[in-house]
Structure 1
Amino acid sequence: MSANTSGGNVCVSLRNLLNSIQCIRDRVRDGESNETDGAFNLSNFWETLNQAVSAVSQEATKLSLAFSKPPLPSQQDGEKLAESILKSVLTLSTVYYWLPKSQGVSLRRQVRDATVSVLEGVAQLVEVILSSPLQSLTQEQLTSTGGVWSACDQLAHLPQDNKAAVLVVLSAQSGVVKDAIEEIEQALSEVQDPFSDVLDDDQEEDEPRGNRDMYWSEKDRRVIGPCQGLMKASAACLRKLMSAVRINGDVGVAQNVAQLDDLADITKEISPGVDDLALCLYPPMDYSGVENNVSKLAVLLKKVLEIIRSSHVCGESELTWVQFLDGAVDHNLQKATDLIQQDS
């Protein structure tokens, strides 16, 4: 009877804890930082944040261990555990709010997302403990505990300033664009129907496929050429920009921090643009769709290059490739348009 009562009281503490963590998580996800008028010490922020993250990890581990084997924590011990983990979570969210937007929007987004991941991990752990048989360590609880550790580890290894945060964004975009280019190249290298591995199982042996819409025509392949050129220009732009940011990127002046954020934001549009173009290149090819996506990607790339040109990361050596890529975009756009309209 007393064990059941104790279990019920502990569960009340855990449910209250879960509600509190979820509220804190939602505020972090949607809230704004506290702007400071004075100088902001970024190294002090990171030191304090890492201490807060370490405390959350330790408290989550304590909570998990307390509910991994008999005896069940007493009501008093359960309340202390809940208070302790809630205190660590509140401290983490408070430290996050110290980081002002003036340190860089890209940096703040990454710190916010990583903080939210930690809070979600802790909330999930509490949920698992509540839904599992008390006094037994389930695989799900082990996994959830590991999830908290992993989220804490990621937060502790975030980029340390806005320049590094922008490089993370550019690297992710570059990877997606590279994948899209490789997929098209792979499909083109296959002489047979690019969809044969998907559709052949449904094909009767005595009914050979005669649907030419599933293959690229010679004109299709000619049109794909400058489209690939535009996609490769996108990849080169991201690659070169990453190098320029590494060499020239500056976070000592507010204007330069903002320029880095502008570069990150505009380049986030490149991979969706490349993906849209790549998808419409597969047979049966819709030339109007190809022309539309080629035009949109070209306009976007010229806008990106213009923003690069006017930013502090563009020195004399960078200006050379910016101008070259600007010309390459024009050339491939014109060539694709001419080939699409040919014989139409």
Structure 2
Amino acid sequence: MANKKKGSNNKKKAKSQGRNHNATTVLSLKRLLTALKELDEKGKDAINKANKNCSGQINIGIALKHWRELPDVVLQAYKMLSDSAELIRATSTKYTLLSKISVEDGSKLCDELRQACELVSTSAFLLHQAEVGCARSTRYFIKQRAIAIVSAVTQLIESMQNLRGLEGNVGAQLTGVLWSACDEVPKLPRGNRACMRREIFKWVGECNETMEEFAELVKASESTAGDIDSEDTALKSSGSEGGNGWDDFCENVGTGENYTSDELPIVRASLAIIKCSRGILGLALKAYECAGNIEAAAEDTNEDNKLTYISKEDIPQIGAILQWMSNLQEISRLIGVGVTDLGCLMYPPLNFDLSEKSDAKVEKIIWSNTQIGEQLLAQKDYLLTAAHFIIDATPYDQSIAIPMSEEVKELSSKLLAAIETRAEEASQGISDLLNTR
């Protein structure tokens, strides 16, 4: 009887020790997660320091050190991430199975999982070092992947520590989540070129989705706008006013499901601005290829503007070109985010209230003071800035020029004209509608 009691106590003690080891590991992983989340993917400190020492243009992007070819330290960081993810995937399976049998036995693999997570985090820390020269996009992708893996490991071990992972299929489900996080590692874009392009493709995709969504709304509204206007006229002519008219019912802003005939020109112009945004983002990709093709650049002198084309041996000028590319990526980011912000304001009925930045005491609302007008104006500025930035392509205090292809030059000119035209159409549409209110 005494031996049975002693054996039972030993099992309880072992189980308690296993849970304590799990708990200690969870605390370590949570500290690691906090450190990962605090990584400066935007490179604010490095950018501010560079701008203080810069007598020329203000840089808004992280200083890059590579484009197509990846330095050894970057290759090693990605290999460390891949190897660690494979180890975590394999170990997590054994950890879950052993924990189901004995929490103590499973906890013996905690150290192995923690060490692998530390290697995953180290790979992210390496690519965030300024001297490595990774872009904001590159930092972002590896940071998010590292967070996903470490977070999944933390949740799995924590579930065994509080015994929730032993209930039903909870442990298996959390292991599946961890597998998915690890399986995404081979799909991770690697290096500045791949990551910056992936980010722009994401913004282009958002442009396409926004255009498709609102094109359907415009199509539906075009088929009903005429009927609504006819009914509105009929109600007014029959004397149905004083609170019972169509305008009162709709509160002068439409039904909330479709656009009014007055709103349609504004939405069409806004969609055209989004189309221009997609065009500029595509243009940025082409400009990167021109700028990144440093090996093909030959030394020459342009007699018209006295700008010197660079060669790959001129390291300081290569640095200036890479900085130009980083700056263009940040301008493109403003465009990508701006498309999302503009899309949020395009749902019917359109909101023509004053923007938060406008003076609340203004006597008359003008188009640029409205929320949608302000966003359209901002998007126009982003697009024009990007187009001129690509056309000029003269970093490094105007001392060199990045040779752009004829295709890039032609597309830039067309987009510049389209941006101005579509922005004017949108502003005129808002002004016309405000004048009728």
Q: Structure 2: how far apart are the matches of 1:277 and 1:91?
A: 41
Amino acid at match of 1:164: A
Does the 8 Å contact 1:103/1:257 carry over to 2? no
Match of 2:114 in 1: 86
Of the three residues 405, 412, 420, the one matched with 1:322 is: 412
**How far off is 1:249 after superposition?**
3.7
Amino acid at match of 2:140: R
**How far off is 1:10 after superposition?**
0.4
Amino acid at match of 2:214: I
Instruction: Report runs of 4+ in structure 1 exceeding 6 Å deviation.
Output: none
**How far off is 1:110 after superposition?**
1.0
In structure 2, do the counterparts of structure 1 residues 139 and 316 end up closer, same or farther at CA, with 3 Å as the change threshold?
Answer: same
Are 1:8 and 2:16 an aligned pair? yes
Q: Deviations over 1:206-245 (max 9, x none)?
A: x997526325333322233322221211122223333443
Q: Secondary structure at the residue paired with 1:67?
A: helix
Amino acid at match of 2:342: L
Pairs within 5 Å for 1:19-38: 19-31=27-39
Q: Structure 2: how far apart are the matches of 1:98 and 1:290?
A: 42
Are 1:43 and 2:75 an aligned pair? yes
Consecutive unaligned residues of structure 2, counting only runs of 5 or more, are 1-8, 47-64, 66-70, 226-243, 295-311, 313-317, 353-366, 394-401
Amino acid at match of 1:12: N
Does the 8 Å contact 2:78/2:123 carry over to 1? no
Q: Structure 2: how far apart are the matches of 1:29 and 1:156?
A: 22
What is the TM-score when the length of structure 1 is the normalising length? 0.82
Match of 1:266 in 2: 331
Q: Secondary structure at the residue paired with 1:284?
A: coil
Shifted more, 298-307 versus 237-246: the winner is 237-246
Does the 8 Å contact 1:163/1:260 carry over to 2? no
In structure 2, do the counterparts of structure 1 residues 32 and 133 end up closer, same or farther at CA, with 3 Å as the change threshold?
Answer: closer
Of the three residues 146, 149, 155, the one matched with 1:115 is: 146
In structure 2, do the counterparts of structure 1 residues 56 and 234 end up closer, same or farther at CA, with 3 Å as the change threshold?
Answer: same
Consecutive unaligned residues of structure 1, counting only runs of 5 or more, are 194-206
Are 1:129 and 2:211 an aligned pair? no
Of the three residues 215, 233, 236, the one matched with 1:185 is: 215
Pick the structure with more helix per residue: 1
Are 1:164 and 2:186 an aligned pair? no
Amino acid at match of 1:318: V
**How far off is 1:96 after superposition?**
2.9
**How far off is 1:125 after superposition?**
0.7
Pairs within 5 Å for 1:199-278: 210-211=249-250, 213-214=254-255, 216-245=259-288, 249=292, 253-278=318-343
Q: Structure 2: how far apart are the matches of 1:31 and 1:339?
A: 45
Does the 8 Å contact 1:245/1:313 carry over to 2? no
Shifted more, 255-264 versus 111-120: the winner is 255-264
Are 1:145 and 2:175 an aligned pair? yes
Identity of aligned residues (%): 17
Q: Structure 2: how far apart are the matches of 1:310 and 1:155?
A: 38
Match of 1:202 in 2: none
Cα RMSD between the aligned structures? 3.0
What is the TM-score when the length of structure 2 is the normalising length? 0.66
**How far off is 1:94 after superposition?**
2.3
Match of 2:55 in 1: none
Does the 8 Å contact 1:45/1:98 carry over to 2? yes
Match of 1:196 in 2: none
Q: Structure 1: how far apart are the matches of 2:403 and 2:113?
A: 44
Amino acid at match of 2:79: E
In structure 2, do the counterparts of structure 1 residues 333 and 122 end up closer, same or farther at CA, with 3 Å as the change threshold?
Answer: same
Are 1:296 and 2:324 an aligned pair? no
Of the three residues 112, 124, 130, the one matched with 1:96 is: 124
Q: Secondary structure at the residue paired with 1:218?
A: coil
Q: Structure 1: how far apart are the matches of 2:116 and 2:97?
A: 17
